[in-house]
């Protein structure tokens, strides 16, 4: 699929149809979104039960991807997440019911990739096929060309972890649920994504709104500074 004229979505919803030839321009992140870092850290947790009837808003998708590995220094193209020697070897593919898009941090757009629903291939746990978004972390060996294969895995895993924690903190601050996962079968997913032999998948990460029976945050932090204080052992 080739990228041509950008498409400016007018609805605040995830795409309902398969990737067309046009990229999706994500809305800019709101100024000052989210709660304080202390509250986000206190609320961070893994969620494995999702409201499958509720699509992620395009605004949440935009901000989540910007937090993950978006550009925070436009003059240099540097990112919200660090990477070994600024290699920027990680690409996030965004799998949704309608297909898979590739996040382009520079243009902050979703580029159409494949038109099939690969979510069932992103894991063996029951929630993966129905949660609205699966992030697939793909490393490019060409960006790590002077490293041994073991070192490539080590670097790509570390760099993925930084991105994953950024996603965790955004989700915690906006009431979204997420879980970073290693439980997937690499080959079928790589084939479905049509990856080249210089690319490999490090992790996947589910994102959506928590379901009604998702375990509550151990500390309710959204409205309650005292809860944060008690969580981190501070006096009020």
Ligand X SMILES: Cc1cc2nc3c(=O)[nH]c(=O)nc-3n(C[C@H](O)[C@H](O)[C@H](O)COP(=O)(O)O)c2cc1C
- The contact set with ligand X (CB under 6 A) reads 45-46, 48, 125, 179-183
Compute the least distance from the CB of residue 78 to ligand X, in Å.
25
Compute the least distance from the CB of residue 141 to ligand X, in Å.
20
Partners of residue 44 on adjacent β-strands: none
**90-to-31, 34, 153, 221 alpha-carbon distances in Å:** 26, 25, 11, 32
For 49-64, the three-class secondary structure string (H helix, E strand, C coil) is CECCCCCCEHHHHHHH
Compute the least distance from the CB of residue 3 to ligand X, in Å.
32
Nearer to ligand X, 13 or 182 (CB): 182
Nearer to ligand X, 45 or 113 (CB): 45
Compute the least distance from the CB of residue 167 to ligand X, in Å.
12
Structure tokens at 82: 């660090």
Interhelix angle 58-69/149-174, rounded to 10 degrees, is 140
Compute the least distance from the CB of residue 49 to ligand X, in Å.
11
Nearer to ligand X, 113 or 181 (CB): 181
Nearer to ligand X, 14 or 204 (CB): 204
| Contact predicate 144/200, CB 8 Å | no
**109-to-6, 22, 23, 76, 96 alpha-carbon distances in Å:** 8, 10, 6, 18, 15
Nearer to ligand X, 180 or 200 (CB): 180
């Amino acid at each position: 699929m080739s990228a041509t004229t950008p498409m400016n979505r007018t609805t605040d919803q995830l795409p309902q149809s398969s990737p067309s030839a046009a990229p999706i321009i994500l809305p800019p992140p709101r100024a000052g979104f989210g709660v304080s870092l202390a509250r986000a850290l206190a609320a961070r947790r893994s969620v494995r039960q999702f409201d499958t009837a509720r699509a992620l808003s395009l605004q949440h998708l935009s901000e989540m991807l910007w937090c993950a590995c978006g550009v925070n220094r436009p003059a240099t193209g540097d990112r919200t997440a660090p990477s070994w020697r600024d290699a920027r070897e990680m690409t996030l593919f965004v799998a949704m019911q309608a297909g898979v898009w590739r996040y382009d941090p520079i243009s902050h757009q979703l580029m159409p990739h494949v038109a099939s629903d690969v979510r069932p291939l992103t894991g063996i746990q029951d929630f993966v096929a129905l949660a609205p978004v699966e992030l697939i972390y793909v490393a490019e060996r060409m960006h790590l060309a002077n490293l041994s294969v073991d070192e490539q895995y080590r670097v790509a895993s570390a760099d993925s972890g930084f991105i994953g924690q950024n996603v965790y903190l955004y989700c915690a601050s906006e009431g979204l649920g997420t879980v970073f996962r290693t439980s997937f079968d690499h080959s079928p997913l790589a084939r479905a994504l049509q990856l080249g032999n210089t690319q490999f998948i490090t992790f996947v990460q589910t994102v959506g709104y928590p379901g009604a029976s998702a375990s509550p945050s151990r500390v309710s932090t959204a409205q309650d500074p005292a809860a944060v204080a008690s969580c981190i052992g501070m006096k009020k």
